[in-house]
Amino acid sequence: MSKYLNNKYKNLDLIAEEYSESYIKADPYPHIVFDNFFDDDFLNKITRDFPSNLNKVGYYSDHPAEQKLALYDFSKFSEQTCELIDFTNSGKFIKFLNKITNLENNLIPDPYCWGGGLHELRDSGYLNIHSDFNKHPLMKLDRRINMLIYLNHNWKESYGGSLELWDKDMKKCVQKVIPVFNRVVIFNTNDFSYHGNPDPINHPDKTASRKSIALYYYSNGRPANEVSLKDHTTSFRKRPNSNDSEMLTYYKKIFWKFYLKKKGLLRE
C-alpha cells in the first residue's frame, strides 16, 4: 500500500476515522480535499505517461456545456495508471471510502470506468456546473461518490479549471479547488451536488492542459431525498449572470440503447 500512498496517509483506517466528521459536515455537501495524498514519484510516472490521444466527451461533436477530453479504455492506460486504478478499486480502499463518507450503503467500484478514467481540459476547455448522471447504464447501480486526482504541477488559479462546488439552489459557489498536482477531492454526488470547472483554461503556455484521473463509486440503492428525477444523464446548470449553457438529458431506455450501441458495448 505504501507504494501508492504518501506515508502521511498510509494508515487509511486512521485517516478515515480522523476526517469522517469534517467530511460529513463540509459545505455545500459532504466532501474533503487531501494534498499530497499519493506517492509523488508514482504519480509523476502517471503524469509523464499521460496519453495525448484523448477523445471529445459528450453526445455531440461540440457539446455546448463542456469542452473536455477523456479516455476510458484500460488497454490504452499506462501500467502505472492501471495499478493506481486497481488500488483505488481494491477492498482496502473501498473500506476507507465507506468509513470516511459514512454512507448507509456499501460502495461498489466501477470495473468499466464508465465516464471516469483520464480527463483533460486543453486551452479554452471547460466543464459547466452540473449534477452527475445518477445510474450506471451497465450495472444499473446508483452513483454515490466521486474521487478526482489532479496531475498539474505549478498550476495557478489564474490558469482556470478550478473545481467549483455550488449550493443546492445554484445561487453561489461555496468552495473553489485549484487542481494542483497530487491534490485529491472526494465528494458525494447526487441530484443536488452541483460542481464543475466552468472557467476556461487560460494557461500562458497554450500547449499546457489540465489533467486528472476520475473515479466513481456506486451503491445498490440510495436515499430518496437525493433524487429529483428518476434517472438521468449529466444535468448542466447555468450560473447566475452567466452565458453558461444549460442542458438536461433524461436517462431514457432508447437513448442509452443508441449510445451503448454506438460505443460498441451493446449487442442486439
- At residue 42's C-alpha, the angle toward residues 37 and 46, to 5°, is 105
The pLDDT score that the predictor gives to residue 259 is 54
pLDDT, average across residues 244-254: 63
The pLDDT score that the predictor gives to residue 56 is 75
- In this structure, the chain runs to a length of 268
Q: Which tens digit of pLDDT belongs to each residue from 187-205?
A: 999 999 999 999 999 999 9
Which of the four pLDDT bands, split at 50, 70 and 90, describes residue 256? low
Say if residue 38's pLDDT is above 90: yes
> Is residue 183 in a domain?
yes
The pLDDT score that the predictor gives to residue 54 is 87
Say if residue 152's pLDDT is above 60: yes
Q: Bigger pLDDT: 65 or 171? A: 171
Torsion sign over Cα 123, 247, 258, 197:
positive
The CATH number of whichever domain residue 201 belongs to comes to 2.60.120.620
What's the domain count of the chain? 1
Please, what is the average pLDDT of the chain?
Answer: 90
Do residues 216 and 137 touch, judged by C-beta distance below 8 A?
no
Measured CA to CA, the distance from residue 145 to residue 34 in angstroms comes to: 15
pLDDT, average across residues 237-245: 91
> Is residue 1 in a domain?
no
> Is residue 59 in a domain?
yes
The pLDDT score that the predictor gives to residue 250 is 52
Say if residue 268's pLDDT is above 70: no
Write out the three cell numbers for 105.
450503503
> Is residue 267 in a domain?
no
> Is residue 206 in a domain?
yes
> Is residue 268 in a domain?
no
Do residues 209 and 29 touch, judged by C-beta distance below 8 A?
no
pLDDT, average across residues 40-58: 89
Least confident of 11-15, 50-54, 57-61, 228-232: 57-61
What is the residue range of 65's domain? Answer: 7-262
The pLDDT score that the predictor gives to residue 191 is 92
